[in-house]
């Protein structure tokens, strides 16, 4: 199933991000490290990403092979960490192409997708806040 994007990303100040204020600094960047929910592997260091709101459809959380298969269903996620450089990640895996999209997974336990990357935009990697932990 293809991810659906309603509109381009819009960085939000912490006051406009209910429930996320303790995670976002005044400049809109992540205050805490971003971790895999399942194994605790560090995905991003503090300050490595910007908060963005964009409506995307991600397949259900599974192992990498199932995520790449695009097995239908999924969740609409709206709050993300936007990463502009793939080398900003500490630890992330990327699935094979599913249409013009690649999904981001934990490189250690392969749980995911935790995020999304469209091949049309080489500089935008989205990590869903609800699919990761923070420390």
What pTM did the predictor assign? 0.80
Interacting residues of 65 by C-beta distance below 8 A, sequence separation 6+: none
Say whether pLDDT at 85 is over 60.
yes
Which class for 135: exposed (0-12), middle (13-18), buried (19 or more C-beta within 10 A)? exposed
- Supply the CATH number for residue 96's domain: 2.170.150.10
Residue 38 falls inside a structural domain: yes
Question: What pLDDT shows up at residue 71?
Answer: 54
> What integer is the mean pLDDT of 10-38?
76
Residue 100 falls inside a structural domain: yes
3-class secondary-structure state, position 16: helix
- Pairing, β 93-94 against β 62-63: unpaired
Residue 66 falls inside a structural domain: yes
For the chain, the residue count is 135
More confident residue, 74 or 127: 127
Q: Which residues pair with 82 in a beta bridge?
A: 50, 126
Of 46-50, 82-86, 97-101, least confident by mean pLDDT is 97-101
b/e per residue 91-130 (b: at least 16 CB within 10 A): ebbbbeebeebbbbbbbbbbbbbbbbbbeeeeebbbbbbe
Residue 99 falls inside a structural domain: yes
Question: Domain tally for the chain?
Answer: 1
Interacting residues of 100 by C-beta distance below 8 A, sequence separation 6+: 118, 119, 120
Q: In this predicted model, what pLDDT tens digit does every residue of 107-125 receive, in sequence order? A: 999 999 999 999 999 899 9
Residue 6 falls inside a structural domain: no
Say whether pLDDT at 10 is over 50.
no
């Amino acid at each position: 199933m293809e991810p659906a994007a309603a509109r381009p990303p819009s960085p939000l100040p912490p006051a406009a991000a209910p429930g996320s204020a303790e995670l976002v600094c005044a400049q809109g960047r992540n205050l805490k490290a971003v971790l895999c929910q399942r194994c605790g592997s560090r995905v991003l260091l503090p300050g490595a990403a910007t908060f963005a709101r964009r409506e995307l459809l991600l397949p259900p959380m599974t192992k990498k092979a199932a995520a790449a298969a695009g097995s239908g269903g999924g969740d609409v996620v709206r709050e993300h960490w936007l990463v502009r450089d793939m080398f900003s990640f500490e630890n992330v895996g990327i699935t094979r192409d599913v249409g013009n999209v690649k999904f981001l997974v934990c490189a250690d336990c392969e749980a995911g997708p935790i995020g999304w990357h469209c091949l049309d935009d080489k500089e935008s990697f989205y990590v869903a806040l609800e699919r990761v932990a923070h420390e």
